[in-house]
Chain A
Amino acid sequence: MSRVYTLVKTADAEATPAIERNSVFVYEAPVRTWHWVNAILIVVLIVSGYLIGSPPPTLSGEASAHYQMGYIRFGHFAAAQLFIVASLYRVYWAFVGNEHARQLFYVPFWKRWYWYEALYELSWYLFIVDKPKKWVGHNPLANLAMVVLFTFLSLFMIVTGGALYAQGAGNDTLWMTIFGWVFVIWPNSQEVHTLHHVGMWVMVIFIVLHVYAAIREDIMSRQTMLSAIVTGDRYFRD
């Protein structure tokens, strides 16, 4: 499975020692493409989803002259279906891609060194230690944030959104076959709407933290971030 390499210190017997090199190839083209497509889709989903919950001011005139809510919902559903396809593709790539492609789906939860390193990383963010370590993929703390705040959350949004979509699509559709069980857990779909909506805010929080951390680490840490997700190469500064 995926392993986190520490280049400076060998905290784990399995971890490969530092290599004398100042750049390393991390994210393959499909992962990078997915990242940016996914980012755009999620922004569309957040904006359109918010407008579904709180539609713009009412329009006057004939109903036949407008299709505002229709377009907003179409935008949400179109982006949602692409989001599902992109997510499936990303899962597929975790199997065929390099080991960094697997980090999004895996936390070395039972490894002692992992929690030690995550704590170390946290102390770096809390200004307790002065020097962060070097990591090829996500650092241990980022890894945790990605899996919990992004991967689980995406799954939750797909499941709750899919269930809501199934209600519109109809009882005898494949959507209902796949997602209908959601209503066994939450029989009143108003509750599913509310939870889906809460999920949007968690996603907003993830993005705020993620973009801030990416830019800050790019400036402050001992390695580059933005280049890794744009060109695939990560450079080490010292």
Chain B
Amino acid sequence: MHDAFQLVPVLEQLPVQVESIVVTEDGVSVRLIDTKKSFANQAIRQLEVIREAGLLVSLAEDVVTLYSLQTYTQKMLLKSTKGAQMMTVYTGVDHVDGIPVIVSKLAVIVKKKLIVFEWRDAQFTDNKEFPLNEKIRSFQFSTSNMLILSTTKEFMCLQLSRGQWIDLLAADAASLRSMAKPQPQGTQQLPTSQSSGSGGGGGWGSWTMGLIGNAATGSPNIVKMPDEELLLCREDIGVFISSAGKLSKNHDGPIQFSSTPTCITYTPLYVITTQSKNDSDGAKRHNVVVQNIVDHSIVQELDLQQETPLRVTNGGNGKQVWIAGANTIWHLFPVDIHKQVEDVLQICDFEQAHNLVTKAENIFEEDREHLIQKIQWLQARWLFREEAEYEDALGMFSKLNATPTEPIALYPKSISGDLAEEYDNNLDEGAKDDEKDLSVYNDKSGTKTPTRPPSKGTQSEPSNSQKSTKKRRVVWRDGLLSMMRYLTEHRRRIQKAFSNNEQELVYLVRITQNDNEDIQDLPDVPPVPKNPDREMRENNFAPLLQFQLINVPINIVAMAQLVDTTLLKLYIECSPSLIGSLLRVKNHCDIEESEALLLKHKKFKELVDLYHGNELHRKALQLLMEHGQNKESVDLYGTKALVNYLQRLPASLFDLILEYVSWPLSYHQKDADASIFIDGHKESVEMDQDLETHPSTNHIIYKVFADGRPATLNFPREKVVSFLSGFSPYQIVCYLEYAIDEWKDTSPSLHNSMALALLQIVKDAIPKSPNKSIDITDPRRQKLIAFLKSSKYYSAEKILLNLPAENLYEERMHVLARLGQFSKALELAVFHLKKLSVGEEYCKEYVEKCENIYMLFLTVLTGDVPADVPQPRPQSSQASSKKLQKLLDNECKKRLNFSLHLIASYPSHFPLGQTLASLPPNTVLQKDFISYFKTQLRLQSQEQRETAILANLGTVERFQLRCRLKELQEICVVIGDTSVCSHCLKRIGKGVAFAVLPGKSQPIHLSCWQRRKNAEAKAKENKPQISFPNGGGFKQSAN
């Protein structure tokens, strides 16, 4: 209940008795006809006004008289109404031939008929009569064309244009009571009583006179209601019907009065009745009862003391309500709207508050809107605080375009931070502990007391401890999730604003009275809301509406920061796996605040993302180093995370990458390396190691320096190599394999580095004990040799310098090949390596590069032992010297035999003369030498034949050329004095360039020829694309 009206006596102690009263639409005061003594001799039974026709209509002395509304002088006595009992008027807009006209009607019940008078645009036009066969108790127009009437038994309606009667419903209280609220889609017909039409009930004789303005308790009553509706009443019950005669959908069923009203009227929001009851001392008391027109709850009761209200009426469609007693006239004066709204807000009736404001009179539209916003604002807060309807509350804030600070402030400190409102004294103390912090809110959300006035009593009433904490936690989790969605949605709005380059976003912001001074300098940062709930609580009657909502432009960056940081806090609270996502996408989380939070909650992985997003790379790397070495660290133990981070850095941070990659690289010094000599090692290195905490060195090199992302392609490769040389040659090889094989780098320095690194690996593998070497089949040597053979870019000289003198002759041989020093290489094979077959293979390999390599080999085999070959030291003793000689002879023989084997195997590579000359004179030629000679002879004759063919071809060609020259020389033009140009027909003078075109004998000026050529080219261009083969115009044949 609240105070909707004040009862103000306007006229008191009237010397005459009020018999009837009428209020005009714009009148603030009542015109009291009785004071015009001459107005009527008898009591006026009823007065009506037809303003549109300027008429005051009076029913007195059983006849209706029309008076001028201005002068109150009589204009006309309607004689036909002699015997009138009741009347009613109606004004509305009607369409006559599509043109709107104002139609006013007066209906009068005269004995056994109904007369309807009609005015159009203030001109009297017509009257119609309708016979009645039952006594009418009450009647009203519902539209200009329809009357709703009631007998004691029945409500019915009369279609005026057709004179058709339709029964509506039985007019007994029980029937009315049974009327439910119609379904929205239903066009429910009103049930009618069975005995309609038959003239039962009271006869004509019981027609009571003098029941003016008083709904006789015993009979039905029809009363006008707002929005063209009518209320059909009987006793203490009333049913609303629409102007079309259907049950109205706008009300919660029939209206129930506490007792049978004596008079009924309305305002847009209320049904107002006067009722009387007997006091405890037996005296009759009269009340005005104000009821909500929708839900019919009693809003207010006003005491009229003992004066009997005779008539209640309203003017201007419920704008003013007047009550006339016998000697007093009261005005039911609406209480100030703000006060009324405040009252209903105190009882949390937001719907009613909203209705009050939308229907309020005398209020600027602007104020109305503002007031509605404030109501919704308070409702949103209330839904959140008292109802735990978080989603709805946040939805309302969104709709209001409220600054996000407002809903955020409703959350506990762990989420709202400095914005947090003081919600509860107990809470503040417990706020240090997060769990407690939240659980207190959980308690709040668990108590659902929709009608509990938040302003009364102590607020922090103990929560219903019966309710399981678990359930409350679930509800509170809803609150967090709702906020998450709210902020996510909001984030998109901010993103959009950013992409439109907006600087500010306008929000509705709450300013309390005290803040007013600050409004001038508009806040650049989101305003910190004060807490109205608290004010409300501290003072029983702290005005809830004492704040302003204004639109304030807020810096978008500041807002983005608040939104993102708050979202981060929510994630920490209820969806930790989203933290990383938020920090990795473009975000505005406050760095320091987020850093502190993440540290506090030990979200180190996410902290790394925060640092990365803000380019605090050194900080991130430092953190990764620390945690990588800490076995306790859940996510970050190991080198993997650090390596992954390095992978995310751009090439410009190369030095930083080098600085931090050292630790992961040096983690496994020993075992990591040999894998590069296994076939297909790359795939296994690249793929499989992502699950390990400490990836292998090679994997790290791949990921950081060589995975093919743009940064790796832009690294200075030599610097990478020189950096890796600080670790081991294996790592250089690992890296350079990508540079050389995948990226096809041809820079000599990289190739040198590759060769040297491979060489280093091989050298390191040579056993330390003297005369021991490393087997040629060792994969390390194989890899080295393969590289030395395949790469064209390393510097052979440089490698030679680095090759050991007493070892790795095969390698040296291949390097020598690069320098073209094949003889030297073959000497190595023969005299140092003492493996003649190696020489043979070598020849096979390089014969394309050096055609006479076999001859070179033969020369080496048959020649003297070079000086630099260490000779077995001649020993003093005869025997040993003999032995030595034998040995040398043996070797010599071996070489000779091998020479013969070569000649026999590769006969085509040994030209006869040279070969025979190189063999020692006493060489014994074996039988298989015959095939060698055959081959050689065949080769020579083949050569001879080829030469002969070439010579013949040459002769032919010479002959052909001669013929051609002769032909050309035969074309000859003599320019004499009469020679003219074939084009311009002018003389070809001396010193003028001319041409003779092929196949023509006439000369032409060179300039003419060129001009002609240009002209022809142009003509070709300009030719129309479409040609008509018949050349026959556009005429179309008739058929």
User: Is chain B a partner of chain A in the same complex?
Assistant: no
Binding site for B on A (CB under 8 A): none
